[in-house]
Structure 1
């Protein structure tokens, strides 16, 4: 039994959300001597050592726990430090050279030169590979109500402070069998810059005519309760009555969730319904081969699909100054996009494993990571 550690990376200047979780991997060191059987990896099990620092998405937190356990179990001389301080700050830390990799729930945009800065940091096109597909749950805590149906316009108006009572006709008409109280609605949103927020507002902007804001990492509407990180939003909704918020579905616990209208049906968040959306979504135009950014189709009417999702990425450079750094990043990313790594995340976080074609392309990209 190997004792492994999953700690917050103490990156200089980061207003970090502290995470200190001790994980135990039993029997992991007895796995096959090559990780390539699942991932196409050439990294020999147990050959890596050192400290690998990353930061970013808090939505990936549960998946990162599983990846840390599995990767460190195969490489007991490696310490993986990941700080779940949010996607925006994670991308910033990566650009500034404070970490070797980052997790982000929204791909690099060049609206403010962010993509160019990442490429400059790396000295070549930055790598962005999908690592984690998960629904964003619209979760709520309302005494006596266990589940609700809503269309995109209703959700948009709630988070835009235009629907303020739970028994509003817009909600009641879609839930005729539910007795809704005359309770004030309290919305809860992320305080920090968040890829989850960007994905959620992207859905509202594309699927609803009632949302007039751009997709942004910072929540654009004043009012409601602001909370730090995924765990902060979940806690704020849990501790209130009449509260509603949004978070990675894997972390909502026992909170009630909204089934979202897609076509003529209402679809609950699940790994399967999230995966269906990714399958019908196009790649971002004009990106290099090592950048697998996807424009999620928020308006799909594909049966059984759930378009309020986040498609989370791991970010890295194609080359690093030293072979030790390159081998650590390569080895970890190879594990994440392997069948084993994707199944570990699915088991621990309820995410949807990458489809075979996407995983194969991602594996080919990360296998090429090398020293300068």
Structure 2
């Protein structure tokens, strides 16, 4: 923790600068919360968007005040590492394409076809399987250029889990000859620059970069477009009370209009921190985000946590 001075919040001295690292999925939300709380209190956050794997490693090494991961850790790992894990928001992973002549949300894909686009079995956008799903679209005879994450990534893990759930022959790492990019930012930029490109990113990045998204066939058999209603429909299906350390499964939710690729994003904090003041400031930051940051989350296309889950998170924080 790099702060050299402190500030006062409600009569208590806290470090003025917090450090966090990990999930690029959660980066827009944490930075927006940080901007808001900084204006009110002076508390600031230095957050490194390095991917979920690095977030886990750095908080385990105690080189940051909190880690961030879209891939929840199992209880045995949390216990061994002395970490408290909790969700902060729910987000959607969407498929983005750069196919000339195909507007946003006009292409329809089902799970097996999506898997085939990423593992190299479908190599052209004029493939008969794509034409069968999209009889009204003029699909070009253009090479498919799949793009995936290069680092240990919670977004990749969630996306691969979804592919395996809808295409059982899919195995993690079956990315074919696809290109690699770093972080949601890198994938978004690569798709935008690659004619014929297809990738997967957190929805906020797709909207920010005005990328063309697709409709996906959900568990109920409906082709749904990404958006607030579809995300909320999926989020309501979460079984929070029975989730191990809040590790809810939001993939392929059964609701008729549910978006099929949803994930909670998680923060990780030490149970026995060496720097008590930094730990208290971290709790101030997340309490602010959970209690006062819902409008910010919605503006960035995240789904806020249900109120009972927030209360449980904060009351259970040691």
- Is the Cα–Cα contact under 8 Å of residues 97 and 121 in structure 1 kept in the other structure? no
Paired position in structure 2 for 1:357: 308
Please state which structure has a larger fraction of its residues in helix: 2
Paired position in structure 2 for 1:92: 57
1:172 and 1:210, CA in 2 relative to 1: closer, same or farther beyond 3 A? farther
Alignment of 1:154-165 (within 5 A): 154-165=113-124
1:70 aligns with 2:33: no
Question: Residue deviations 1:242-292, cap 9 Å, x none?
Answer: 1000000110121111111122311112233223223223359683xxx22
Q: CA deviation at 1:99?
A: 1.1
In structure 1, how many angstroms separate the alpha carbons of the residues matched to 2:311 and 2:84?
15
1:246 and 1:284, CA in 2 relative to 1: closer, same or farther beyond 3 A? farther
1:341 aligns with 2:293: yes
Question: Residue deviations 1:288-340, cap 9 Å, x none?
Answer: xxx222122x33331110121221111113342343122111111211211x2
- Is the Cα–Cα contact under 8 Å of residues 153 and 210 in structure 1 kept in the other structure? no
Paired positions, count: 308
In structure 2, how many angstroms separate the alpha carbons of the residues matched to 1:136 and 1:334?
25
1:286 and 1:132, CA in 2 relative to 1: closer, same or farther beyond 3 A? closer
- Is the Cα–Cα contact under 8 Å of residues 152 and 207 in structure 1 kept in the other structure? yes
Instruction: Report the secondary structure of 1:131's partner residue.
Output: strand
Alignment of 1:134-283 (within 5 A): 134-146=91-103, 147-211=106-170, 213-214=171-172, 219-252=173-206, 253-262=209-218, 263-283=220-240
1:312 aligns with 2:277: no
TM-score by length of 2: 0.89
Instruction: Report the secondary structure of 1:189's partner residue.
Output: strand
Unpaired segments ≥5 residues, structure 1: 1-8, 11-32, 34-42
- Is the Cα–Cα contact under 8 Å of residues 148 and 175 in structure 2 kept in the other structure? no
In structure 2, how many angstroms separate the alpha carbons of the residues matched to 1:280 and 1:86?
27
TM-score by length of 1: 0.77
The counterpart of 2:69, out of the listed 104, 112, 125, is 104
Moved more, 315-324 or 166-175: 315-324
1:168 and 1:222, CA in 2 relative to 1: closer, same or farther beyond 3 A? closer
1:271 and 1:361, CA in 2 relative to 1: closer, same or farther beyond 3 A? farther
In structure 1, how many angstroms separate the alpha carbons of the residues matched to 2:221 and 2:260?
14
Paired position in structure 2 for 1:119: 79
- Is the Cα–Cα contact under 8 Å of residues 106 and 195 in structure 1 kept in the other structure? yes
1:142 and 1:250, CA in 2 relative to 1: closer, same or farther beyond 3 A? same
- Is the Cα–Cα contact under 8 Å of residues 90 and 265 in structure 2 kept in the other structure? yes
Unpaired segments ≥5 residues, structure 2: 3-7
- Is the Cα–Cα contact under 8 Å of residues 64 and 345 in structure 1 kept in the other structure? no
- Is the Cα–Cα contact under 8 Å of residues 45 and 75 in structure 1 kept in the other structure? no
**Please, what is the CA RMSD of the aligned residues?**
2.3
1:89 and 1:220, CA in 2 relative to 1: closer, same or farther beyond 3 A? farther
In structure 1, how many angstroms separate the alpha carbons of the residues matched to 2:12 and 2:25?
29
